[in-house]
A = this chain, B = another copy of it.
Amino acid sequence: MGQPVRRFTLGDAEALDIADDLAPLRSLFELPDGVIYLDGNSLGALPRSVKARVADVVERQWGQDLIRSWNTHDWIDLPSRVGNRIAGLIGAPEGTVTVADSTSINLFKALSMALYLRPDRRVIVSEAGNFPTDVYIAQGLADLLGQGHVLRLVEPGQLASAITRDVAVVLLTEVNYRSGARHDMRALTTYAHEMGALTVWDLAHSAGAVPVDLTAARADYAVGCGYKFLNGGPGAPSFIYVAPEHHHGLRQPLNGWLGHDAPFAFETDYRPALGIEAMRVGTPPILSMAALDAALDVFDGVSIARLKAKADMLFDVFVTEVEAQVPGLELVSPRDPVWRGSQVSFRFPEAYAVVQAMISRGVIGDFRGPDIMRFGLAPAYLRYADVWRAASVLAQIMRRSEWDRPEFKARAKVV
């Protein structure tokens, strides 16, 4: 793929918006005035349907119906219902996905299950630039087991040579959180299987953003995040997928009572539920899970492939304008849309200050240390004119060094 060369005017961007069949999705979101939000890959915007749903769960279900809601409003099966909705977005069959805990906790379950199935192997392969929690969870599990498991962290280009016959599991995030680069899930899974290894795919930056087909890829396990492109709200619960071929005798080590086959029999011995229900642990946070459920309404009848195509065009508009106005700024994200998620990242030594300067002008992106400015392209609520304007703001800040002020360099606690 060559670099796009034709520049866009604001009029071009507005014309793209008029022609955009996904444009009506924006009205499903609450968005603040005067803000261009390019951080939906960190915290998705608020879908309007969430407000009424959360109020109903608090006031009527909890407040009026109280404990009865576990049955009458079927809170008990909410994780499965939401799981099945997410399954439809990631190429997973019904009954293979549930919603529980955080991504970190679900990674612990998935890795543990993979290691159970490969008792004679001691290597976990991952990418050196994987999101820290993926790596940390693997380190913590290896330490806990005390059986000499090692974590082999390599650059993406070295994955094939790193996946040798001593590897128990390959743990990868499909779309890299810093660069937006996307792995070939199918090829890597196939190769891992040839080597006798299992795969755990982290879909944090994939679910709701790129077309994922876990079935076609023959992925073994997957986890993902509810609060990025799925717009489930801050700290929304995570999801976990287990391939059907691993459902027989399915068991993970976090044996909470709701993962028991008969939680309300209060038996003395743990007996895992059959199938994906065994991934449950404790009582789920119903308010947060109901918010995620309502947020998924946005995806009803919407093709993820179509969303990704729009994100790719948003990328082209943004990158073309930035590169035309700020020659030499290093694009970190792949230019080939096939190998990219819905984000664009640039490298710049003062990336933090640039992002703060942009925020002060109403364009919200984020920073990932040491030198990445990252912009999420959530096609459900972003307009072409938004990214055109965002590119102009970025370019102006760069050209005039507007970022070079102490207030933009002072680091907040959360960056």
Contact = CB atoms under 8 A, between A and B. Distances in A.
Interface in A67-99: 67-71, 75-76
A108 interface: yes
Contacts of A238: 282
A104 interface: yes
Given A66-B32, A254-B140, A270-B136, A58 B101 contact: no
Contacts of A101: 101-102, 105, 282
Most chain B CB neighbours (cut-off 10 Å) among A30, A50, A237, A414 = A414
A216 interface: no
B58 A105 contact: no
Interface in A272-295: 281-289, 291
A269 interface: yes
A192 B65 CA distance: 43
A35 B132 CA distance: 49
Contact of A253 (B132, B141, B147): B141
B46 A50 contact: no
A55 B30 CA distance: 14
A131 interface: yes
Interface stretch (A9-17, A259-267, A317-325, A398-406): A259-267
B50 A66 contact: no
B62 A43 contact: yes
A201 to B, nearest CB: 17
A345 interface: no
B46 A253 contact: no
Nearest to A38: B67
Contacts of A70: 234, 414
A58 B62 contact: no
Nearest to A50: B58
Contacts of A71: 412-414
B63 A257 contact: no
Contact of A63 (B30, B59, B133): B30
A382 interface: no
A221 to B, nearest CB: 17
Nearest to A225: B283
Nearest to A238: B282
Contacts of A282: 101-105, 133, 235, 238
8 contacts: A51-B63, A54-B54, A54-B58, A68-B359, A68-B364, A75-B414, A104-B256, A287-B291
Given A139-B269, A144-B253, 19 more contacts: A30-B59, A32-B65, A35-B66, A45-B63, A46-B62, A62-B233, A66-B364, A68-B359, A71-B413, A102-B284, A104-B255, A132-B270, A133-B255, A137-B256, A143-B253, A235-B287, A237-B285, A266-B369, A286-B288
CB-based closest 8 A-B pairs: A102-B282, A140-B255, A104-B256, A285-B288, A104-B282, A234-B286, A133-B257, A46-B63
Interface of A: 30-32, 35, 37, 39, 42-43, 45-46, 50-51, 54-55, 57-59, 61-71, 75-76, 101-105, 108, 112, 128, 131-133, 135-137, 139-141, 143-147, 153, 227, 233-238, 252-258, 260, 263-270, 281-289, 291, 359, 364, 366, 368-369, 412-415
